[in-house]
Amino acid sequence: MKAIVPVAGLGTRLRPLTYTRPKAVLKVANRPIIQFALDNLIEAGIREIALVVSDLTRSSIEQAINGVQGAAICYIDQNETLGLGHAVLTARSWVGNDDFCVYLGDNLFGGGIRPYVERFLHSEAEAVLALVEVDHPSAFGVAVLGAAGQITQLVEKPTDPPSNLAIAGIYCFRPSFFDLLTETPLSPRGEYEITGAITELIRSGHEVIGQRVQGWWKDTGRPLDLIDANRLLLETLEPSVQGEVSASRLTGRVAIDRGAVVRDSVIMGPALIGPDVSVSGCYIGPFTSIGRGSQLQNIEIEYSVIDEQVEIRDIGMRLQECLIGLRAQVLGGNRLPRAHRLTLSDASVVELA
């Protein structure tokens, strides 16, 4: 079985973080999101993986997965972004006559994807889709299940959802699905919609199985989703101190990587301090990850994701639910009169509480 991972999109809902990088390389728990996807595929026994990229994302994706082992990874260019179905079609010749799965590169599965792959391989079904219960199904493709677990109806972002079962980011197909996808009319948006082709499978009497997600699942399409994904991943953090710690208190599951220095600080786990990080005079609260080479001095922060080579110092209020991008600076001071001085990129969001 082969795998197609579409990562050609930049992720406009995550701007400004994605103005210069695609969303699949943004980090949670100090690792690019795409690495978790590859881990899940390899753990499920899939060793041939095609990443569908664009000119804007290829270089960043290549850098993000540098050093990943256990699979043969190739790159397929998607020169036009005409929907998920189009991304799948670009890999048709590479897939050939093999069964394949489509794994959305910005989705995280706490329990991995092996159950969906094995259900497909041990069935006669034409397709197996992962399904998850959601609170707001109108934002997703929604499935209706029959008594035996087969999908009887599929609706894309319905105004009146027939169920609360959304399609999660893993699909398994037979190679004949490519023919159906090619024959499916373009959507009103001018895109190849994969849900339309699956609907045709169902209408033609083929078995399409929906398997509920066990454990947690996260679509990291929005900023708060990244923060919550970071929380979920840090829940399983193994405590470890490989760096230097002095005059500090560590409570709970705290991991401090090699080369990091922590002085005169309090760290409440779960918290992840990356390599070569400097923390001085700080309170680092739960569910916080700090990327390689960052420097934190005289601040309080919790429930946040800090990327690499970030500088934060002398902030007179606690920072919470923050996403701090690569090489960003957050600088404070005690000068009077006190004021906020901001330098923001397009579509930035600032909340002063």
Tell me the CATH number for domain 239-331.
Answer: 2.160.10.10
Q: Map out the domains of the chain as residue ranges.
A: 2-233, 239-331
- Using CA atoms, how far residue 323 sits from 27, 252, 272, 341, in Å, is 10, 23, 15, 18
Amino acid type, 51:
L
Amino acid type, 313:
R
What is the per-residue pLDDT for 21?
Answer: 72
Full-prediction pTM beyond 0.95?
no
Alpha-carbon distance of 169 to 265, in angstroms, equals: 40
Amino acid type, 83:
G
DSSP designation for 239: P
Peptide bond into 337 cis (omega under 30): yes
Alpha-carbon distance of 158 to 152, in angstroms, equals: 15
Helix or strand run (H / E) with residue 178: helix 177-183
What is the per-residue pLDDT for 186?
Answer: 67
Tell me the CATH number for domain 2-233.
Answer: 3.90.550.10
pLDDT in tens, the chain (353 residues): 999 998 877 766 667 666 667 778 888 899 999 999 999 999 999 999 999 988 777 888 888 888 788 888 899 988 877 778 888 899 999 999 999 999 988 888 988 899 899 999 998 898 999 998 888 888 778 888 887 778 888 887 878 888 888 888 899 999 999 988 888 776 666 667 788 888 888 888 888 988 888 888 888 877 788 899 999 999 999 999 999 999 999 999 999 999 999 999 999 999 999 999 999 999 999 999 999 999 999 999 999 999 899 999 888 888 898 888 888 888 886 555 555 555 555 455 666 55
Domains 2-233 and 239-331 share a fold: no
Please give the torsion angle defined by the CA atoms of residues 10, 110, 118 and 52, in that order, rounded to the nearest 10 degrees.
Answer: 10
| Unique residue bearing structure tokens 């004021």 | 339
What is the per-residue pLDDT for 346?
Answer: 45
| Residue 304 in tokens | 């946040």
Sheet containing 319-320, strands listed edge to edge, beginning at the edge strand earlier in sequence: 249-251, 266-268, 283-284, 300-302, 319-320
